[in-house]
Structure 1
Amino acid sequence: MRNISGLKVLIVEDEALVALMIEDMLQDLGCEIIASISRLADARAIAAKADIDLAVLDVNLAGELSFSIAEILRNRQIPFVFSTGYGMDGLPDEFGSHLVIGKPFSSGELQEIIAGAIER
């Protein structure tokens, strides 16, 4: 499995406990958390400008979908993975080929999916 240590990661997650869990997992894997954002507008602004290597995006942010953030990242050629409890069914066709990690997940699963996103 590819080492993901040193990656600069943006986390977009509206559930505070889940965000903290992801932050802890990523830090344990040697990643640097650039920001952990819970609101769509704030996340879009960070995604548009921040120096990041990868993003983990919750699909549903308090009823708002994160696909506009994904579009910004795709345009900047920054890899991302979707984090969701809904599976692939909640993704529009344009993002159907992107990697999805189902909640709940382990640190090993997170490392594996991030490595896969970076290698694409």
Structure 2
Amino acid sequence: MRILIVEDEPVIALEIEAIVLDRLPDAEISIATSVKAAFEVIDDTVSLAFLDIDVADGKTYSLALELRLRHVPFVFVSGANRDDAPDGLAEERLVPKPFAAREITQQLEALAREADGEAN
């Protein structure tokens, strides 16, 4: 399973990665610090994603819409306000920052079930 983490704060990205690998030790993790970098690494092998909303080069909404088109489940992990989110993205899953490890684990399990459902 390949998991994308889009987060421009290295400590937070590494924390999410550690939580994911604790639950799924064989997962392949790709970390991107910007929307541009994330678009460079997404392909058909990305199974699910954790997205900060505000990153180095703007908001991840365009990436979220692309993931939605590709049927890749994702969750926002952010302290940002989603009032300006386009196309129903304000209703997508959100883990607010600061987060507890169990919140990431719960979302990981939900996203993995959804990703498995899409694959079947």
**1:3 aligns to what?**
none
In the alignment, is residue 13 of structure 1 matched against residue 4 of structure 2?
no
Aligned counterparts of 1:118 and 1:87: Cα–Cα separation in 2: 26
**1:95 aligns to what?**
89
Alignment of 1:1-120 (within 5 A): 7-30=1-24, 32-47=27-42, 49-62=43-56, 64-89=58-83, 91-92=85-86, 94-119=88-113
Q: Is the 8 A contact 2:2 2:30 kept in 1?
A: no
Q: Which amino acid aligns with 2:97?
A: K
Percentage identity across paired residues of the two chains: 31
Aligned counterparts of 1:36 and 1:89: Cα–Cα separation in 2: 26
- More deviation, 86-95/54-63: 86-95
Aligned counterparts of 1:113 and 1:98: Cα–Cα separation in 2: 12
SS of 2:99's partner is: coil
SS of 1:53's partner is: strand
TM-fit CA distance, 1:43 = 0.4
Q: Is the 8 A contact 2:3 2:46 kept in 1?
A: yes
- More deviation, 88-97/67-76: 88-97
**2:118 aligns to what?**
none
- More deviation, 99-108/109-118: 109-118
C-alpha RMSD over aligned residues: 2.0
Unaligned runs of 5+ in 2: 115-120
Q: Between Structure 1 and Structure 2, how many residues are aligned?
A: 113
**Structure 1 moving runs of 4+ over 6 Å:** none
Unaligned runs of 5+ in 1: 1-6
Q: Which amino acid aligns with 1:96?
A: A
Q: Which amino acid aligns with 1:28?
A: D
TM-fit CA distance, 1:119 = 4.7
